[in-house]
Amino acid sequence: MAIRRIGRYETTDVGGEMVRAFVPHSLPPSNPRLDIAGELAERVQAAEQALRRLDVAGTMVPALDWFIYAFVRKEAVLSSQIEGTQATLMDLLSYEAHHETEATPPSLDVEEVCNYLDALAFCRSQLSDPSGLPLSIRLLNEAHRLLLRGARGGNKLPGEVRRSQNWIGGSRPGNAAFVPPPHTMVGELLSDLEHYIHGQHVHGDEVLPPIVRIGLIHVQFETIHPYLDGNGRIGRLLITLLLERWALLQSPILYLSLFLKRHRQEYYLRLDAVRAAGDWEGWLTFFLDGVATTADEAVSTATDLFALVAEDRTRLLEKEGVNILALQLFERLPEHPIVTARWVVERFGSTLPTAGRAIEALEDVGVLVETTGRKRDRIYAYRAYLNRLKDGTEP
């Protein structure tokens, strides 16, 4: 591995203590420049192929929306668990099943996950609107504002880059594992990064593959650590947005959070090695592996879910005397796998007894399972579907 300098240290005074803050050079890596050859080139290819398989798995399906919905929620739960949030997929879905009809406030954990979902949806709608914000630091700041809204993030400057020195690991900057750049330089560093995102990406004579650029951008973002909190979540959101923006995927169905959660130790070590030794190759190997593995997993989850829904639909259609509401409700379950009778009433404008019969029909064919054991306020889940979906999301 080539030793490459990717930045310099700047000594700053933090509350009377002199600390060495790291200031990264602008992308792309130079001296020596990145050589995508040999094993690394193979990994780039493998990652690109896996992404294409995933994209095809997505486009072959007429109604992709429902599993995107589920994947997005899975991503939100996982991404928030890295930060230490304890909400599970089940918590989130039960909250969503209820909050449309009842005024229960979400727990803090669920609130955080919902914030993540709002941030992702906000960015995607801006990017698809010709008069919306472009992929920019301003967009990320707005996403950050949504992400840190509410109880926990309130004092962490939601929507704004930091105005003070931060650090990673340790109890103060002086004994930290890593001290990001001084806050006075964050604006300029972010604007450089934005240029790199929008520039020609010319690297010597060649252009780096988009998936490689996304890997570089993620590290650069984490190294700048522009916010007081939420840098990991915004950095992962940026990966998702870039994949779609640069047409590697047509929908946000690749979620790296699960991989980064499973390999958190290595993730942090790889980030450190880029900074300490300029080991971009090591990071990229890890990152590209993550992309390929995650894409393959998503293809198999998608395939399983579709098979399950198709089988269940057949069973339901074969059931004698099944009412139309049961069929309609079934078609909604993939994007709403946890339901209550009241939810059905509100959603379909039916009477309570009709809703009850539809739920019963779905229970009879083994699609819905009652989860509370209560006599009242019962909650029903599309359990087989959730079991497949929640792989990896329960701590």
Strand partners, 12: 19
223 touches which of ligand ATP, Mg ion, none (CB within 5 to 8 A by kind)?
ligand ATP
- From the list 293, 212, 221, 297, the residue with the least C-alpha distance to 248 is 212
Q: Which CB atom, from 229 or from 279, has the smaller least distance to Mg ion?
A: 229
Give CA angle at 101 (98, 107), nearest 5°: 40
What is residue 357's three-state secondary structure? helix
Distance, CA of 256 to chain centre = 7
Quote the least distance from Cβ 15 to Mg ion, whole Å: 21
Quote the least distance from Cβ 118 to Mg ion, whole Å: 18
Quote the least distance from Cβ 144 to ligand ATP, whole Å: 10
Residue nearest to Mg ion as judged by C-beta position: 229
Quote the least distance from Cβ 179 to ligand ATP, whole Å: 10
Q: Which CB atom, from 261 or from 383, has the smaller least distance to ligand ATP?
A: 261
Interface residue list for ligand ATP (CB under 6 A): 82-83, 168, 177-178, 222-223, 229-233, 235, 268, 271-272
- Decide: 335 and 385 in contact? Cβ < 8 Å: no
252 touches which of ligand ATP, Mg ion, none (CB within 5 to 8 A by kind)?
none
271 touches which of Mg ion, ligand ATP, none (CB within 5 to 8 A by kind)?
ligand ATP
Residue nearest to ligand ATP as judged by C-beta position: 232
Residue with tokens 């979902």: 117
- Which backbone phi and psi does 257 adopt, to 5 degrees? -60, -40
Beta strands in the chain (DSSP E): 7-14, 17-24, 202-203, 206-207, 338-339, 368-370, 380-382
Quote the least distance from Cβ 169 to ligand ATP, whole Å: 7
Q: Which CB atom, from 118 or from 272, has the smaller least distance to ligand ATP?
A: 272
Q: Which CB atom, from 58 or from 153, has the smaller least distance to Mg ion?
A: 153
What span, in angstroms and rounded, lies between the C-alpha atoms of 93 and 346?
17
- Decide: 136 and 126 in contact? Cβ < 8 Å: no
- Using rule CB under 5 A, residue 229 touches Mg ion: yes
Burial class (CB in 10 A: 0-12, 13-18, 19+), 11: exposed
- Decide: 109 and 395 in contact? Cβ < 8 Å: no
- Using rule CB under 5 A, residue 111 touches Mg ion: no
Q: Which CB atom, from 75 or from 222, has the smaller least distance to ligand ATP?
A: 222
Quote the least distance from Cβ 242 to ligand ATP, whole Å: 15
Q: By CB under 5 A, name the binding residues for Mg ion.
A: 83, 229
